[in-house]
Structures are given as C-alpha cells and as structure tokens.
Structure 1
Amino acid sequence: MTTSFRRTATSFVFLIPFALFLSVGGSAVDAQDSKSIDFARQVQPILAKRCYACHGPDKAEGGLKFVDQESAYAETESGDFAIVPGDVEASALIARITSDDEYEKMPPEGDPVSLEEIETLKVWIAEGADWSDHWAFEPMKDPTPPVVADLDWNENPIDAFIYDSLADVGLSPSPQATRQELIRRAYYDLTGLPPSFSRVQAFVADEDPLAFERLVDELLDSPQYGVRWGRHWLDLVRYAETNSFERDNPKQNAWKYRDYVIDAFNKDKPYDQFVREQLAGDELDNVTQESLTATGYYRLGIWDDEPADPLQARFDEIDDIITTTGQAFLGLTINCARCHDHKIDPIPQADYYSMVAFLADVTSFATRGDGSTNNQIDITPPAIAAEHQRIDDEVKRIESEMHDIEQAGIAKMKGPDQRATEGKPRARKKVLDAKLQQFLDADQWTAYQRLVHELADTRMLRKALPKRETVMGLARCEAKPEQTFVLFRGNPHSPSDPVEPDFPTIFGSETPTFPELDEAAKTAGRRRVLAEWMTDPDNRLSARVMANRLWQFHFGRGIVRSSNNFGQLGTPPTHPVLLDWLARRLIDGDWKLKSMHRLIMSSRAYQMSSASHEKGESVDPDNNRFWRFDPRRLAAEEVRDSILAANGSLNLSIGGPSFYPQLSAEVLAGQSRPGEGWGDSPDDQRNRRSAYIHVKRSLLTPLLTAFDFPDPDLTCEERFTTLQPGQALSLLNSDFIHQQGARLAESIGASDLTDASDNPEIVRRTISAVLQRQATEDEEQSGDELIVALQNEYGLSRTRAVQLYCLSVMNWNEFLFVD
C-alpha cells in the first residue's frame, strides 16, 4: 500500500476531510529494540511520568523517591526495596505496578503502567538496574558514524546512523523521491514558496548528479530563505507587534527585530553570535545597530499597562522572558521552578531566581506614563543627532526665557487666573493668550513676542531635519540592579533568601564572575556572561537544541520531538548518538546554519520517498526510525503565499514595516474597540509575503489562524498540524480566496479562452500554475465537465465558472501537502 496526497482528478470535492486532526505524538524506540535498556532514555521517563507525583522531588510517600539512585534503591518504610538490581521478583516496584489489588496497585490514580512499560522495567532490573543521569544533562559526545552494509548509505554520516537504526529492526529505507517531489520539498523547506512550472521542468530534465546540490545552494542564496527560516525563529520567541491586554497597544519598531532575524539567516550569521546579540547585544565589545536591534528580543512579550498588582505584573514579565529564554535556547522548562523546586528536573527554585538575577538590569517594557524611554534606542547618525540636540537645547533655552516672562505677568494676576495657569497646559495657554499682555510692560512684551517668533523658527528648523531613527530594544537598563531574592511560593511580596546570578546546577559549571563596572556603565554586564556561557561549545544543551530544531524543520519533527523540553518529561531522542554528532558538526562548522542545511539535505534520508508500505507501518508506525519521509501540510504562511504565487501577484520585497491585510467588519468587531490599531495598506503591500503581516495579539489574521498560526503570547516549539472545517471554509468561502481565484483566472489568460473547446487548455494552464506540473487527460476531462456543469446546471457565467474551477484546484490535497 502506498500513501499519496495527490488529489484525484475524477471528482472535485471541496471539503478537506471533516474534523480530522493530525497528531505528531510518538515515543522513543521500543525497549526491546536493543539488547540492553538505556536508563536515561527508556526507564527514567517512565518513572517521571508514572511515579513522580507521589515519589518525586516534592514527595516521598512510604519513604521512597525515584529522583536519584541512592533514594530509589534505599529500603522503604515498609522494609521492602522498590528496586533490587538483578532480581525482578524481589523488586517491590514490579509487584506493585502489576498487582490486581486495588489497594496495592501503583499508581493509585490515573492511567496504569502499560504492558510495554512494565516489560521495559523488568528487563532493566534483570540486567542490573544500571542508573545514569538524564541523557540531556550529560556532556555531549563526539561519536563516530557506524559503517553499514549498504555502501551508498555510508557516503553521508547521517545516512549511516539512520540505516543502522533501521537495520536493527529489519527495515530498509524507502526509495528516493521523484525529482518533482524533491524540488517541491526543497523549495518549501528552504523558502516556504513553490517552484515555478518552468523551474520544475528544467530540474526534472537535468540528469547531472549534482543538480540537487546546485538547487540547494540556489535556494540558500535566495533572500526568501531568510523569510522562511526567520519565521521559525519568530515562533520560538513569540514575536508580535502589540502588547496584548485590553488596549493591545503597538510595540513601536517591533518589525525591525523581525527584519534583523530574517537578515541574520540570509547572511548566515553564526548561531552563537545570533544568540549573543539577542541576549547581550548592548554589552558586546563591538556594539552595532544590528546588535542593539537584536535586544528587541526582550521587548517582544506581553505587557500590561494597567495592572492590578504592579509588582506581580513585573515578575510575570520577567517570568515570560525566563520561560522563553530557557525553552528556546536551552530546551529547559526553568520556569517550572518559579514557585517551588522543579517537579521533574533537578532544577531547584534557587536556580530559577539565579537566572532572574542574570536579567535583573532588564527594565520593564514601559511605564504607564512613558511608552518609549525603556524600549526605544536612538540610533540616529551622530551628525544628525548632534544637530537635533543643538536644536533641542535651543528650544529649551527659549521656552525657559518665555516661562520667566510669563511667570512675571502671572504674579500680577488675580488668584483664579493664577491657579488656572498651574493646571493643565490648555488652561494655562487660554489665560496667557487672553491676559498676559495686560500684566507685562512694553519691554517685557516685546521680548516675549521676539521669543515666540524665535521658537517658531527653531521648530521649523527641527522639522527640516531628518527624523531621529530608533529601534526597539534595551534602551534603558539598571546598571546597579537591586538584590534578587527567592520568592516564597513565587509571591513577589514574600521575598526570602538572597541569590546571585548563577548557572543551573545541573550543568556543573563554575560560578560566574563579572567585570568591574565603572561609574558610566549603563548595564550590569551580567547578560553577556550568560550569553557566553550559553554559546560555549561545552554547554550541554545549546548546540543539541539548535541541531534538533534544524532536523525538525526539515523532517517535520525533531530527533527529540519535544524540542522545547529536553528535560525528563520531554520525549527521549530516537537517535541520541546522531543528535550529538549533528551538534558537534554545528559547532565545528563555526555555528553556521547553511552548511548544516547542505549536510542534511544531501542525505539519502532527506531525499527518501514519502510512500508508505505495510512492513514499515507494522514495525514502526510512527516512523520514529525515519524509514520514509513524512509528508506534511503547508504551514499557514505557505498556504497564503502559494495562492499569491500561483496567480503571479506575490510581492517578494524584503524588509520594512508590516502590512495590514483587509479584514471584514465582522472580524474587526471582535476587538474591544473595533478597528482600532488596524491600518489600511495598499494592494501591492497586501500581496507581500505573510511573514510581513502585522501581528496584533488581539486580532490575528483569520486565514492564518485557520491553518494553525501559533499563539504569539507563548513560545511555540512546533505548530499544530490539523485538518479541520475552518480550513475548508477559508479556502472555499472567504473573500480572499475568491479574489485570488479571479486573479488566477486572469493570470492564465482565461479571458482569451472563451469557447467550451478551450476548457482543456484552461485546465492545463491552471494546473501548471498551481501544481507546477502538466495536467493528465483525466484532469482535463474532469475540469471540462466541471466548468460546463457550473454554467449549464447552476446558471453561472463562463467567467465565474472558470474562476471557481481555478479556486477548486487550490483546494486539492496536492496543493496543500508536500510529499
């Protein structure tokens, strides 16, 4: 049996399968797949999932904890031993999880331990119950790739690892994908866009063995690469351009951070530098406009401009940064230790607040009365900035002299007028305009009038200057931050023990040291130390996490599926040795990502067919061992961009302020203040790539959300991939799709094909534009029949019938899926 997402040509069913949801779940390779059990990868996750609620870091019911070897092997309060290495029968753990007695059976609540998990625990104990630290907390190894039986699969080390894993269970890799499948896969993976029909035809006809290699280089050199891969990063850092909460006010210049990210990917900025710039771009030896823009990372989160408890809101803001930093850069849920020691991972509460101390100089996004001082960095060129400063000083001088004269006159006025001038500026101006001259002598009034004209002229000079340029970032920091404390149960009103900046204890790193600060220091210098530790080649997680993300965005899921959680409740790696090998290659390649793309995409594993077969589905239904390539549905932006590309209206310009898609009145009415904060962009801007759509937290674009655009309030490790009715409705009934269907008909020259005999040509042109291939005879016949039926049976004009046919092809599975 083979699985294909190509749309059949004999019928036109407009609905995506109703209420079908794709799951990306999966587990590590079965315990029985190897001769010995790996504790960290196979046993520890079972203990954490099934036992920690009662026998974990916070509880030791019956005197038993499974958090470390000493506690797990110790005698319990009942005199039994939960684990007796080498003796399954004597191990109370096995007796309790297999018991039929409801008072003895463990766990007492929730799902029981599965038969597969029980067998894993039995084999582990029988083999001696070897205990090791969690795999992710161990130093990275530098493994040697295996040598496998198939010589072709030894050429790329990635393939050797994959083939070796498949051979363990008697599976063979799927054959290579067709060249048409490969070019479409490569285009979408690297640029998020479809290839043109002519580009597909040329590649299919190119018999040069290096053709695919050249194709990958071509796509990596395209500026559209940065748009696609930059969007992956924006998901991780919860990019948005507004603050959320009721007013959801805009974040000025947030789009410049987005452009920084896209540009960084296009320039192949080393990943370690990319990290350092975001975490400490204002503290580096060479501070640049780019590195300052990168600190916009700290300003992306939600911000409440009117909190009920300001101190609680401030620590919530910090927690948002800790959550994102820990998960995006380290794959650790450090945030789970905010109120207590981490329930699963060995992260004490003090470690959380030591991380808070690293970021103690980061000010709040803004204050209620000042929305820009903390977050807008002035990067105006020095000469222009100096001229602005000169004019600002001149304005202050003039206004000061005017104020002195005004006060001299006000002193002679009656009490009510004097009090009015002490209130709002508008009330003061009203009194001065009406009465000031009456209370000044001639010389004072002449001097005052001269200053009024001088002020107007000076302001005109200011208007003539180029505007100051600013970027969103860390504009103001606390160079000498206050002491950080552990907060009792996470309550900011209940500080307890003081803590200093320090790295999580699981890394075993030396206590950090910090540079001496001079009086002119604008930051505490701590974040640079944190950034350098994170990007140290010896860091156990940074390279692993990024290597896993690269694999995830090429293969549809990571070697560690839970790519934001490498901890003990995360999904264990299916190929841990391969992951370490990839992480080492990333470091050895100077942290450059484009060379990693070339390495991965040149592998036979990446170039495999997505076709399924019975043995693979039986032995490895979740495709944990990568015996085939997993097909995927297009991401939200890819759907919209592909529609625009098909009709030739896609604007591929790079960078600049975001644009506002046209939204219906019904959608805008969902805001607390309908339409507020939503602009009106010209048509050419509305046809830009979807990565440039304005991301307003309270008003996400409906087409994108229908196709699982992530919630920008939280870091997103992997988007949901659903098939649900809202998608079909968006691609059938929305104003947008009907407009684009009409444009598609226009772009293929349908207005010149006015006779029924032209229908096959309309079909051929539409399919080549939308699917980048030639139409089959069956598709020509079915398309002809549909156009005729829409005219004769439903009374539609020929123009409208052709438009609906064009729309229908953009609903085919072949359009929406990549094999």
Structure 2
Amino acid sequence: EVDAFIKDDRPEAYAELVESLLNSPHYGEHWARYWLDLVRYAESNSFERDNPKPFVWRYRDYVIQAFNRDVPYDQFIREQLAGDELPQPTKDALIATGFYRLGAWDDEPADPLQARYDELDDIITTTAQGFLGLTMNCCRCHDHKLDPIPQADYYRFLAFFAGTERYGLRSDDSVYQRSIRNIATPEEQAAFQQQLSEHNAKVDQLRAELDAAEARMQEHLVGGEKDDFKRDSVRLDVIRHHIGKHITQAEFDVYASTRKQWTDLRNHPPRSADQALCIKESGSTPPATRILGRGNPHVPGDEVQPGFPEVLGMPTPSITPLADGSSSGRRRVLADWIASPENPLTARVMVNRIWQGHFGRGIVRSSNNFGLQGDRPTHPQLLDWLAAEFVEHGWSIKHLHRLILMSSTYLMSSSANEKALANDPQNDLFWRFDMRRLRAEEIRDSILAVNGSLNLDKLYGPSMYPDIPAEVMAGQSRPGANWEKSSEEEKRRRSIYIHIKRSLTVPLMAAFDVADADFTCPVRFATTQPTQALGMLNSEFLNQQARVMAEHARQQAGNEPARQVDFCLHQTLQRTPTQAEIDRGVQLMQNLQQQQQLSADQALQNFCLLALNLNEFIYLD
C-alpha cells in the first residue's frame, strides 16, 4: 500500500487515501481505543478477586461500530448516558449504557454506603471530565478551590444518577440480577429457547445412560456404598477398585467418558447470545440526594434536586419519569443537556480530543480539564471554529478527521530548523509535526503486521487472552484465575481485543504505558524505561514473532542474505533501505554465524529481532 501510494502522483491520491482509511473497518478499532481509555474500560472488577465483568466486551464492540458508522456524537452521548430512557431503545442503546458498569467494584466493602458513593463519584468523574472537561470530582468534600463550582453543584449532578442500581451486591449472581439485560429480539429469544431445550434434553439423556450404567455396576460391587454414584464428583479410581471382573475396561471407559460429557454439559449451559451489561434503575422515584458533610455519607445535610453547574447559567431542568415507571427520566435530561448544541463545552472538548489523537496533544493540552487549573488553548479561535463546524455538520467525527487530515498543518514534516526552535521550542504553533512513539497496542499490532501474521479477518466478539509468562502469573493472588487459553488464531487479533484484567496486564503493554483502567485516561505519556528494551529483546513474544518474520522473509526473498535483509527492512521501515543498511545487515548475519556459531536461520531470526527494535519502527515521524 505504501509503495502504491508513493508511485501514485495524481493530485487526488492523498484525498482518496484518507477516504479509504476512514471507510476501513479497522478505523473504528483504532479510534475506539482512545474512547475506551477515557471511560476506563476494563473487563474485570478489581479488588481482591478481580472477577470478570460478564458481556462487557459488547460495549467495546459498540464503540468500534459507532466510530465505523460515524454515529453522530450527540447520539453517541445520549445512548451511553441514557440509552435505556430513549423512546423505543435499540439494542445498541442498551449496550451503550454499559458505560456505567466499567468502573471498579468492591464485592465485599467494609462500608457499603461509602462504597456506593465511591461508585457514584467514579461515574461523576468520568462523565464530567469525559464529556465536559470539568473536574467536578474536586467538589465532593468542599467547594472547588479554583473553578466556580460549589459543593452543592456536585450533589445536584449526582442526583441525576441517584436512581441507578448498584452493579451488584456481595456475589456475582447479584450482578446478573442487577446489571444484565436480555437484549434479544423475539426471534433470537425463540432460537435460544430451542438451543436450551436441546441442551437440557442431551443432559437428561446422558443422565439416563449414567443411571443405567450405574445400576449394572452396582450388581458387581463388593462392599461398596450405593450412594457413592449419586455424588456430583465421583472418584473413578475408587469405583474401579470395587468393580468385579464382570465389568470390562472398555465398559468402564465408556462410563467415565459419559460422566465427563454429562458433567461438562451440566456445568456449562448455554447463555443467551444477546445479553449485555447495562444500567438499571430502581423505579421512577429515586432516593433523596443530600449534600454530605465533607463528603462523608454518614453525615447527610440539605436535600438537593438534579441540576446543572450554576456557572453555565442553565435553568433548573424539568424531569418527567418514564411512562412505564421503570426509570426516573433524569439521565435522559442530563444527556440532552450535554448533547445540546447550546452547551458551551461538549463540542469543544470532543474536537480537542480528535485534534489530540492526530497531533499527540490537544489545542488545550489538559484535555480532561477545561477549567482554570487546566492549560490555556494555544489556538482558541481555531478551537471555536472547529467546534462550530463539528455541530453544523451533524456532529460527524469523520468530518472532523477530513478537515484535519487535509490541512497543511497535518501535512507538516517533523524536520526542525534552528530559527523556529528558538522562537517556539515547544511547537505550540504546530510549525512541524511532533515525532511520537507508537502506543502499546500499535507496537504489538505493527509487529504482527510486518511479519505477516496479524489476523484482520475477525472483528468484534469476546476478547482473547495472549500468553503471559508463568512468572507474571505467579504474582497473582490466584495464579491463572479467569485468564483463559485462546487459540493461536485468536491471539493474533488486534490488541483492542485483548482481555483487560485490572490486576493482570500483558507485560509488553504495561512496559509501553498502556492506560490504567482504574481511572479515566485522557492522554498516555511515553516513558523511557529499561523494561521496554528488555522486553523487546528478550521476551518470548518478541522472539517468537522474530522467528515468524524470518520464515516469512525466507518465503518472500529466498535464501540470499542481501535480499532477506532488504525484505525485512522494507517491512519494518516501510521504505526502501539504503545499500549501506543492507550491507550492515548482511555483515551482522555473517558475524553471528562465524563468531557465535549460529546457523543461517538463527542469524536471520536475530536480524529480524533487531529490525523490530529499530527506533524508526517504534517511532512515528
């Protein structure tokens, strides 16, 4: 693709490239990751047990699909904050309310009331910072120290969420009762019932076969206990000891196999394919919301009603509960206000995030904080113009991408000059493109892409589980718990599909500053630390991918070392390597064979590992 673009000298070639990338299904996979960082997306609950969140991957898929379909941003807001309160909510709208279930959850809190307000604070923090760029969480205990937001505003904002049910109580079963919705259509539900009936019939059939076999075996027991066979878990070696010679080994093997099938089926009944982790409300009348003395839930003060921050000059909202009494309607009012074109913050905050995604930093660098403590915009008029353009074009995110990608600012080189560096060393004026290191997911996906093994065919669906070293697993309170085994094909999927367990991060991702899912993450910082080089050179994953790349090079370039080096550098650097670079690569491979007694294949693998560690591969300039 790079070669084809370079050879295409038509004026419209770049615009066509932009359109092809925006229309790619992988566009949503890339841009969804920024949003998932922002809403602290994870697939486990944190705390001691860190159990998985059922069906939460549907929210991730919803975000990917929303970006791919260019769902208007105002609709995107309404679906996440109040999808269940919309008229005739769609399946996507219900899935979108999984936004509320992404945070950490303590299933055994010492103080349940404190834990409840901690959960609400997490929702307030993520909502206010994510959609509005406001640090309202600073007002939980007192008036904001810098911004004109009193403590009462915090609790008025909290009142919009007061009717939401908790994620769960003290067991995972309660999560299914409080947070799981069946979102299947009548046709899908009928198909599931048919599947369930067939499953139950098979379980009953196997149980009948076991009963018959056990009855025959009882006739040959000597001194055995009849009740042994009715236990859920039977020690087959004990049964074998008591069975007489009239039961053959073949008959016993059939019995053991049947019992295993019955146990597996009974323990793994089919679940509806269309269940999702969603928000629920306790009814049309939420509990009263009171201002808490210094944020202490055991010191309630004056009662407050739902309301918007006073500094924005909005009137007290009128709220009507849903006609069926299932919900208070409060979150719909909040969502409509946030998604309103008249809201002075929403469009500016999102425009700034898109700009940040392209340039590495926003027009307002503190993209979660548009308050007095945040950074001033470097180009306020540009921010205002982009926000107005965003709203006027139907809140289309792809329209924003086109504007930015077609601009001369985006097309700037990363090359510097002495005069410009002296006048603007921080590049606040965007006179050049800032070189940046690839994000953790981009590094892993690029490695798989250049060696030809990246699985781009499967989009969406349950997450996959990469291999994690046993030494890392050993550090868990329950080593290996809730970390499944994925097929080799699954493990080659894009990194956005990696299962995110809060207490267990894939080492390569952790080394390259993957987002901390306990908090909203507006921007990732690129650190430099020894574990990055150690992992890139010595980890089993990198060495395995180097072996795959070496085999790919042999298939594409043959056994000639110069052609192999040329191919590997072309893949990793996405440009034609110089003759000097090829010569150095060939010399390195020869030295490895002569001085380290490596075979030609091993030398090529080592060169591939080196190519994957080049700065030009890891950094985008």
TM bracket, shorter-chain basis? 0.7 to 0.9
Which of 214, 229, 234 pairs up with 2:16? 214
For residue 465 of structure 1, report the CA deviation from its aligned partner.
Answer: 8.7
Contact 1:331/1:541, CA 8 A, preserved across alignment = yes
Deviation readout 1:83-105 (Å, 9 max, x if unpaired): xxxxxxxxxxxxxxxxxxxxxxx
| Of 724, 729, 740, the match for 2:545 | 740
Deviation of 1:206 (Å): 1.2
- Quickly say closer, same or farther: Cα 1:216–1:387, change in 2 above 3 A: closer
Q: 2:180 aligns with which of 365, 372, 376?
A: 376
Q: Which residue of 2 aligns with 1:591?
A: 395
TM-score, normalised by the number of residues in structure 1: 0.66
* Deviations 1:104-155 (CA, angstroms, capped at 9, x unpaired): xxxxxxxxxxxxxxxxxxxxxxxxxxxxxxxxxxxxxxxxxxxxxxxxxxxx
The aligned residue for residue 178 of structure 1 is none
Quote the residue 2:431 is aligned against: 627
Q: Considering only CA atoms, is the larger Rg found in Structure 1 or Structure 2?
A: 1
For residue 493 of structure 1, the aligned residue among 281, 298, 309 is 298
CA contact 1:751–1:799 (8 Å) conserved in 2:
no
> Residue 334 of structure 1 corresponds to which residue in structure 2?
136
| Matches of 1:342 and 1:577, distance apart in 2 | 28
Q: Which residue of 1 aligns with 2:522?
A: 717
Alpha-carbon spacing, 1:517–1:763, altered in 2? closer, same or farther (3 Å): closer
Q: Which letter maps to 1:241? A: E
Q: Structure 1 residues 736, 464: closer, same or farther in 2, change over 3 A?
A: closer
Native 8 Å contact 2:164 2:280 kept in 1: no
What per-residue deviation string (whole Å, max 9, x for no partner) do you get for residues 719-762 of structure 1? 011222211111100000000000001011269844xxx22111
Show the counterpart of 1:804.
Answer: 606
Q: Using the TM superposition, give the Cα deviation of residue 516 of structure 1 relative to its aligned residue in structure 2, in angstroms.
A: 4.7
Give the secondary structure class of the aligned counterpart of 2:44.
Answer: coil
Partners of 2:283 and 2:325 within 8 A in 1? no
Shift of 1:202: 1.3
Contact 1:486 1:498 survives alignment (8 Å):
yes
Distance in 1 separating the partners of 2:450 and 2:186: 46
1:361 to 157, 163, 168: 163
**Displacement of 1:389:** 8.7
Q: Describe the superposition over 1:277-298 as per-residue Cα deviations: whole angstroms up to 9, x where unpaired.
A: 0000001113000000000000
In the alignment, which of 113, 116, 122 is matched to residue 314 of structure 1?
116
Indicate which of 319, 326, 335 corresponds to 1:522: 326
- The amino acid that maps onto 1:502 is G
Residue 608, structure 1, aligned to residue 409, structure 2 = no
Secondary structure of the 2:85 match is: coil
For residue 222 of structure 1, report the CA deviation from its aligned partner: 0.3
From the superposition, tell whether residues 785 and 255 of structure 1 become closer, same or farther in structure 2 (CA, over 3 Å).
same
User: Is 1:659 aligned to 2:494, yes or no?
Assistant: no
Q: Choose from 246, 255, 261 the match for 2:57.
A: 255
1:384–1:581 Cα change, 3 Å? closer
Identify if the C-alpha distance between structure 1 residues 516 and 634 changes in structure 2 by more than 3 Å, giving closer, same or farther.
Answer: closer
The partner residue of 2:285 within 480, 489, 507 is 480
* Alpha-carbon separation, structure 2, partners of 1:236 and 1:529: 23
Distance in 2 separating the partners of 1:586 and 1:371: 39
Partner Cα distance (1:818, 1:371) in 2: 43
Q: Report the Cα distance in structure 2 between the residues aligned to 1:362 and 1:335, rounded to whole angstroms.
A: 19
1:510 Cα deviation from its structure 2 partner: 1.2
Give the SS at the match of 2:426.
Answer: coil
State whether structure 2 residue 444 is matched by structure 1 residue 640: yes
Say if 1:666 and 1:544 are closer, same or farther in 2 by CA, change over 3 A.
same
Alpha carbons of structure 1 residues 368 and 657: separation in structure 2 relative to 1, 3 Å: same
CA distance in 2, matches of 1:814, 1:484: 55
Cα distance between partner residues in 2 of 1:771 and 1:477: 56
User: Could you tell me the percent identity over the aligned residues?
Assistant: 53
Match of 1:343 among 136, 145, 148: 145
8 Å Cα contact 2:40/2:103 also seen in 1: yes
In structure 2, relative to structure 1, the CA distance for the partners of 1:464 and 1:813 (3 Å cut) is closer
Number of positions where the alignment pairs a residue of Structure 1 with one of Structure 2: 553
Greater RCO (Cα-Cα under 8 Å, separation 6 or more): 1
Q: 3-state DSSP class of the match of 1:503?
A: coil
> C-alpha displacement at 1:388, in angstroms?
7.8
Which of 569, 581, 590 does residue 779 from structure 1 map onto? 581
Paired residues of 1:750 and 1:762 also in contact (CA < 8 A)? no
Answer whether contact 1:646 1:744 (CA < 8 A) is retained. Answer: yes
Q: Is the 8 A contact 1:375 1:476 kept in 2?
A: no
Contact 1:745 1:806 in 2 (8 A): yes
Deviation of 1:380 after TM superposition, in Å, equals 2.4
- Structure 2: 5+ residue stretches without partners: 201-230, 233-264
Q: Structure 1 residues 494 and 769 mapped into 2: Cα distance closer, same or farther (>3 Å)?
A: same
1:674 matched residue in structure 2:
479
Structure 1 position 686 matched with structure 2 position 491:
yes
Q: How far apart in 1 are the matches of 2:32 and 2:321? A: 36
Residue 116 of structure 2 aligns to which amino acid in structure 1? R
Q: Which amino acid aligns with 1:525?
A: G
**What amino acid maps onto 1:310 in structure 2?**
P
CA RMSD of aligned residues (A): 2.2
The equivalent residue for 2:380 is 576
Indicate conservation of the 8 Å contact 1:237/1:324, yes or no.
yes
Q: Which residue in 2 is equivalent to 1:42?
A: none
Structure 1 alignment gaps of length 5 or more: 1-198, 396-425, 428-459
Aligned-pair distance for 1:385? 4.0
Give 1:185-204 correspondences, 5 Å limit: 199-204=1-6
- How far, CA to CA, are the matches of 1:247 and 1:512 in structure 2? 41
Equivalent residue number for residue 440 of structure 1: none
The amino acid of 1:739's aligned partner reads: Q
For 1:590, the aligned partner's letter is: G
Q: 2-side partners of 1:268 and 1:215: how far apart?
A: 18
